[in-house]
Amino acid sequence: MKPHLVIVGGVAAGPKMAAKARRMDPDIPITLVTDEGIISYAACGTPYYLGRVFEDRKKLLVREAEDFGRKNGVTMLTGHRATRIDAAAHTLEIVDLAGGGTRTLEYSKLGLATGARPLMPPIEGLDAPGVFTLRSVTDAFAIDDFIEQYNVRRAVVAGAGFIGLEMVENLRERGMAVTLIELLPQVLPPVDEVVAVAAVKELEQMGADVLLATRVEGLERDERRVTGVLTSRGPVPAELVIMGVGVRPNSELAGEAGLELGLRNTIRVNQRMQTSDPDIYAAGDCAEQTQIVTGEPTWIPLGSTANKQGRVAAVNMAGGNDCFPGVVGTALVRVGGLNIGRTGLQQRDLERLGAERYESCLVPQNDIPGYMPGSAALTLVLHAEKDTRRVVGAQCFGAGEVSKRIDVLATAITAGMTTEQVASLDLGYAPPYAPAMDIVITAANVMGNKLDEATRGVMPGELCRTCTPETVLLDCREPHEWAQGRIAGARLIPLAQIPERAGELPADRPVVVYCKGGLRSADAYRKLKCAGLKDVRYLDGGITCWMGETEG
């Protein structure tokens, strides 16, 4: 069969496949088939367009089909839908959506970049004007036109994932009253509880209403448009509804062709991005991935991953040899003035794999020295495996620079680095950019102390759940700090007074000592142990990260 690459799908992975394959082989025929007219666009930028961070729609359009085809020597079949793969015959059936005609393309290698589509709950009223999903630039333009046409002032966002929170921020920037509704008991399911709580505080501070553990049960409308959302907690008025409850892979074409499907019906691929048919490849939001830390199948649909997978698929389709080892699940999101990043495993993963195998710590620290203008707070969560001392997960949040820290830790996790190796990293230092001991180094050292059993801490969420009347909560800050607010029921012994006053504490009860961020309480822990107390822990993150009741 004459070599001919056929690629199905646009946006990120499809055009990346076509462009890279052309660079690999200047002569091989390449055809790209997509049912959209716009082949490549910045989908992740759509919330910011809707928030008027920028106003020119053209900035979202990465590549025009005609220009892309001409520059890369690719036959562009826009407005065509792939309907059937005959793997044995190496043919693809496509339908012209405008003209209605059907034709068959022969391929030597086939690349599937069919992406994902919004998941819609089984409720009444989804067809009401004013109810949207946000998956493409076409969706964004339709939402923008609707807002302008009806001068929308009240919106509901259903689903508190990354896009949902970005939409809340940007609709608030546009002056709307916004209610966020989430079925789960926390926003941002991919992060730990302490991070999610901080995100909710920021959402509420920016003026959004947040309804957690709340089910969307239906939509109300009048003769013109949507008027409200029916929930398990009662009706919520709305002139605009963004449904962002999740996505599902577009894998039906592959499944009907007999290709093996994987987690959540993604298309199963190997590291070369080959499907169960060696002449068919898949990349992007339709394709399964491997979690590098655990080696387990995973699915985290992101544009960054789609581009990398598309490149690997193209190299191999064009006769080269490349591999995509997997992901660690790195992601970033901004929520008002709060920056959030995550990578690797989260607490929920550790509990599933066996929480006793892992240790966690939580460290607050500023992103640059406090004496520098612009210094801002960060909090870093670190997870490590006890036996190997490998860092396996991290999350960072705060007003400071998050992405630098998460990228360092994503690299460390991918490389299988231990806490000692992370603590020894030669990271950049200068007062305008970072402190002499970056929060990454500090957290790795704190983790090392825990793994060595030099200290024993407790995470805020765990203490909230397990604290009993028998637990002694000890504040080791100064009296003026205590007066400004403390954990409910705590008693005060300043750090310097602990050696002579430790006898005031009951020796037969558990003691949890805390300070503002954790530094003094770790020192207090050692002093209490030296004084003979047996059951002592310190509160990771101190009162800064406390999620329970306070007083004063």
Q: Which residues carry out catalysis?
A: 44
What gap in Å lies between CA 313 and CA 319, rounded to an integer?
10
What gap in Å lies between CA 165 and CA 158, rounded to an integer?
10
Amino acid at 475: D
The CA angle 334-57-30, to the nearest 5 degrees, is: 100
Q: Are 419 and 389 in contact (CB under 8 A)?
A: yes
CB-based contacts of 142-147 (< 8 A; 24+ apart in sequence):
143/50, 143/240, 143/242, 144/49, 144/50, 146/240, 147/50, 147/174, 147/240
CA 369 to chain centre: 28
Q: Which helix (H) or strand (E) holds 359?
A: strand 358-366
Which residues lie closer than 8 Å to 132 by C-beta, 6 or more apart? Answer: 139, 142, 143, 146, 240, 241, 242, 243
Sign of CA dihedral 277, 280, 285, 286: negative
Q: Are 301 and 309 in contact (CB under 8 A)?
A: no
Cα distances from 24 to residues 12, 19, 29, 266, 311, in angstroms, run 18, 9, 12, 27, 10
Q: Pairing state of beta strands 80-86 and 91-96?
A: antiparallel
**Residue 483: burial class (beta carbons within 10 Å; 0-12, 13-18, 19+):** exposed
* DSSP helix/strand/coil, 309: helix
The strand pairing partners of 460, in sequence order, are none
Phi, psi of 187 (to 5 degrees): -80, 165
The strand pairing partners of 487, in sequence order, are 550
Phi, psi of 165 (to 5 degrees): -70, -35
Amino acid at 186: Q
CA 110 to chain centre: 30
Sign of CA dihedral 487, 488, 493, 499: negative
Residue 11, token pair as written in the block: 């946006």
Which residues lie closer than 8 Å to 244 by C-beta, 6 or more apart? Answer: 118, 133, 134, 157, 158, 159, 161, 163, 164, 167
Residue 73, token pair as written in the block: 């020597």
What gap in Å lies between CA 452 and CA 75, rounded to an integer?
61
The CA angle 207-209-214, to the nearest 5 degrees, is: 165
